[in-house]
Amino acid sequence: MDIIEAGFPASSPGDFEAVSSIAKELRRPVICALARANARDIDQAWGAIKEASHPRIHVFLSTSDIHLTYQLRKTRQEVLRMALESVTQAKGYTDDVEFSPMDATRTDPEFIFQLVQAVIEAGATTINIPDTVGYAIPDEFGQFIESIINRLPPDKNVILSVHCHDDLGLATANSLEGLKKGARQVECTINGIGERAGNAALEEIVMALKTRSDFFGLETAINTTEIYKTSRMVSEIMGFPVQPNKAIVGANAFSHQSGIHQDGVLKKSITYEIIEPSSVGVSSSKLVLGKLSGRHAFAERLAELGYHLDDEALNRAFQAFKEMADKKKDVTDKDIESLLAEEKRTAYGLYRLDRIQVTCGDRGIPTAAVRLIGPQGEVLADAALGSGPVDAVYQAINRLIKVPNRLIEFSVKSVTEGLDAIGEVFIRIEKDGLVYTGRGADTDIIVASAKAYLNAINRLLTSEVKS
């Protein structure tokens, strides 16, 4: 970072100590302290940063008629005098002074021009133009910045800065427009944190400048490979989670779910990625498997997991994956492994579950209707009552497959996490002293129970045929 606005020392003893610690610790960047346009704030600001290698005092003062009328209750002339006195006082402490006319984008432009020229004469070296309430539109903001730059005294070495809020979701766009029109400092924050909807996000501005250097012709000294890690650190410290679809640092920023996108990324990442994930500290892009994913992406993920299926098996597995994806937003590696295991269990079974419907409740009698596909492809259907929904399903299956047996073990576990987790059922059945196991997995635990029971019965029937 070139400049770190470390805090507002006059706001609290804690802020004073924090700014002071940063000023003593960090020797390369400019360390800036924020102050309102009054003597006490400016004294406090200097007290906190006086040991910095490169100290700066940033004075701010409201300038819009809205703020002057309802908040400050002062005239424009009184505000002009306060600004001059404050900048002069700050200049007595350090040569590096920044001034901000707060709510600048809702201020009469002519008053801004007058104020800016006056504080520059008083010694301000950086003029920051805040869009304090996120009111500006990019084209409008760019013209405003350009008009101020055109009126800066040519004999003064003054930097124009922009400080944009995101109330209309335009903070980054306005900041970039300001840079395009000649601003050379941007006030921004990690993850866009700030008042109300937040400030312009540092990561978005930095990566926009880097990715579109052909357009802006500007660069920063930021080590972009630290961006993702820094974002996560700030999120953890503040307790503010980063939204998944947040640009650059969101969990989905380098995730691809659409089958068309996944196919393109697998062939050449630049087809759908304008930023190399490693350039911001993300190890690699991620293909999120879901209902929009294509066969190519599914096969690629299977290969990564160590599964190499022939075309027929892949087609069956992909069809099962699509059915699962309709029930779950994202399909994890564990889900896929469970799915493959389930496909393996059913591929060679004599009987296969086709459809199931269960009615139950604390006042009703649990009832299950089951339809199976038999060994020759025949359709078998029946219904039964039970002591519970699973028992009703098993009674219906017993009516269709007349194989006497006794259920001796039934257990359920979650394969994955969340409300849409896949549940896996493990059972043991016994016939004539022999025990047969069965497993079934599904997002619906009743369906998983039916699959597990059929798996065990198929094992029993297969064993009897062999013997």
pLDDT greater at residue 264 or residue 430 = 430
pLDDT at 341: 72
Residue type present at position 168: L
Judge whether residue 88 has pLDDT over 70.
yes
pLDDT greater at residue 299 or residue 33 = 33
- pLDDT-derived band at 421 (thresholds 50, 70, 90) equals confident
What does the pLDDT look like over 110-157, one tens digit per residue?
999 999 999 999 999 999 999 999 999 999 999 999 999 999 988 889
- pLDDT-derived band at 287 (thresholds 50, 70, 90) equals low
The tally of CA atoms less than 13 A away on the side-chain side of residue 114 is 11
What does the pLDDT look like over 171-200, one tens digit per residue?
999 999 999 999 999 999 999 999 999 999
Judge whether residue 22 has pLDDT over 70.
yes
b/e map of 106-117 (b: 16 or more CB within 10 Å)? bbeeebbeebbb
3 state DSSP class of 102: strand
- pLDDT-derived band at 296 (thresholds 50, 70, 90) equals confident
pLDDT at 418: 67
What is the Cα–Cα distance from 174 to 161, expressed in whole angstroms? 12
Mean pLDDT to the nearest integer, 263-275: 78
Q: Which of 236, 164, 157 is nearest to 204 (CA)?
A: 164
Range scoring the smallest mean pLDDT among 5-19, 164-178, 216-230, 235-249: 235-249
Please name the residue ranges forming H helices in 201-284.
202-211, 213-216, 227-238, 259-267
Judge whether residue 215 has pLDDT over 80.
yes
Range scoring the smallest mean pLDDT among 112-116, 288-292, 429-433: 288-292
Q: Which of 309, 353, 360, 350 is nearest to 442 (CA)?
A: 353
Write down all domains in the chain, each with its CATH number in brackets. 3-187 (3.20.20.70), 255-341 (1.10.238), 348-466 (3.30.160.270)
Residue carrying structure tokens 């901000």: 100
For residue 387, give both structure tokens: 């002591």
Which residues are registered as beta bridge partners of 440?
Answer: 425
- Cα 320 to the center of its chain, rounded Å: 29
- pLDDT-derived band at 277 (thresholds 50, 70, 90) equals confident
Residue carrying structure tokens 């490693």: 278
Judge whether residue 57 has pLDDT over 70.
yes
Q: In Å, how far are 87, 96, 177, 352, 393 from 143, measured between CA atoms?
A: 26, 27, 9, 69, 71
Mean pLDDT to the nearest integer, 28-44: 97
Judge whether residue 258 has pLDDT over 80.
no
Phi-psi region of 288 (alpha: psi -120 to 50; beta: other; left: phi over 0): beta
pLDDT at 254: 76
Judge whether residue 305 has pLDDT over 60.
yes
Q: Which of 309, 336, 303 is nearest to 320 (CA)?
A: 336
The reported pTM is 0.70
The phi and psi torsions of 375 (rounded to 5 degrees) equal -60, -30
Q: Which of 20, 22, 16 is nearest to 4 (CA)?
A: 22
- Cα 391 to the center of its chain, rounded Å: 44
The phi and psi torsions of 350 (rounded to 5 degrees) equal -80, -35
Residue carrying structure tokens 């059972």: 427
pLDDT greater at residue 436 or residue 177 = 177
- pLDDT-derived band at 65 (thresholds 50, 70, 90) equals very high
Q: Which of 115, 128, 42, 35 is nearest to 80 (CA)?
A: 115
**462 Cβ contact list (under 8 Å, min separation 6):** 350
Q: How many CB atoms lie within 10 A of CB 324?
A: 23
Residue carrying structure tokens 């002339």: 77
